[in-house]
A = this chain, B = another copy of it.
Amino acid sequence: MATYVPPVRENNPHLPFGDQRGAPFYGKDILSVKQFGRPELEYAFAVAREMQEMVTRVGSFDLLKGKILANLFYEPSTRTSSSFTSAMERLGGSVIPINEVHYSSVSKGESLPDTIRTLECYADVVVLRHPEIGSAALAAKYARKPIINAGDGVGEHPTQALLDLYTIQEELKAVNGLTITMLGDLKYGRTVHSLARLLSLFNVKINYVSPEILRMPAEIIEELDEKGIPQAEFTSLEPVLADTDVLYVTRVQKERFENLDEYESVRGAYVITPEMMQAAKDWMIVMHPLPRVGEISMEFDDDPRAAYFRQMEYGLYVRMALLAMVLGKA
């Protein structure tokens, strides 16, 4: 797992549109944050900003009219699924929703490659959520149409990491120079893993705050060390809160634990409240990938620093940008 590198598929020569115009990601898959360097991020965020402006101004527009997205979710995720559906619809495109794959031909034993090769007969782009690591790369290996990874188990969830970074950029107007504190389940959370990797492209300082058993994996810390990113680990938020520009809170997910007692002992340890946040800066932000289950008190929601619902909205613009990019309309 530690050394998993998704095989980023070269542009397939059979692809009807290919990469001929040279636009980044045109006809390509979005599988991993590793595909994104600073230039790719800048390009994607510039497109996202255009999307944001257009949505604010006219709500929807017909950039992808006639294009079809197959929204293939092997795992339920109302949030991500709805976000991609909205992104495609606001761009004038259509969606084939496939949410109940446990009832579908998958349950008859069909392989993921066959499902993908069938769906790409009907759609122009496939968004895939799958419980197994490497599944998005597998799908992309067989597909002629672009695949967007919407989460493959404990693997990657690149569109989440991109929207997280876009949120930081838009809310604080810069990434360089910031102190980011990640809180909660840093061991199993693919969200913080991918975000940490993206952040290592910038001059930032990162704090990890977690229970001992949920520490950030050593391989990621080493990866960032090599890039010269200052990192520090804590078991309590208190020592780093005052210096924090971005507090990234994660859910301690019960399903990640083999032992329920272990879960109960840590779940309540890092709850964000208005009182606690008095020690934080005025213009910092609190983020969360959502859904939350008590990690942030609802009483904090009205605080202007609570950025997690705005984060959802930034996600729409980033996903609109990615769809437009891979379909060559950015």
Contacts and interface: CB of A to CB of B under 8 A. Distances in A.
A257 interface: no
Contacts of A291: 105, 108-110, 114-115
A77 B105 contact: yes
Interface stretch (A118-126, A209-217, A242-250): A118-126
A228 interface: no
B118 A309 contact: yes
Point out which of A78, A110, A121, A298 has the most chain B C-beta atoms below 10 A from its C-beta: A78
Interface residues of A, number: 57
Interface in A49-78: 58-61, 65-68, 70, 76-78
A23 to B, nearest CB: 18
A82 interface: yes
Interface in A111-169: 111, 113-115, 117-119, 121-124
A124 to B, nearest CB: 7
Nearest to A85: B96
A272 to B, nearest CB: 14
A293 interface: yes
B89 A121 contact: no
A309 B121 contact: yes
A32 interface: no
Interface string A84-107: 011001101010111111011111
Contacts of A90: 66, 68
Given A82-B98, A100-B100, A309 B117 contact: yes
A68 B60 contact: yes
A109 B290 CA distance: 11
Contacts of A68: 60, 86, 89-90
A118 B86 contact: no
A78 B60 contact: no
A309 to B, nearest CB: 5
A293 B110 CA distance: 6
B82 A70 contact: yes
Given A78-B101, A105-B291, A312 B60 contact: no
B66 A78 contact: no
A9 interface: no
B316 A79 contact: no
B78 A106 contact: yes
B59 A78 contact: no
B98 A78 contact: yes
A181 interface: no
Interface in A252-296: 253, 290-293
A83 interface: yes
A313 to B, nearest CB: 4
Interface of A: 58-61, 65-68, 70, 76-79, 82-83, 85-86, 89-90, 92, 94, 96-101, 103-111, 113-115, 117-119, 121-124, 253, 290-293, 298, 309, 312-313, 315-316
Given A108-B253, A113-B298, A117-B309, 6 more contacts: A60-B66, A68-B86, A110-B290, A118-B312, A121-B312, A122-B312
**Which 3 residue pairs are nearest across A and B when measured between Cβ atoms?**
A60-B66, A86-B122, A78-B104
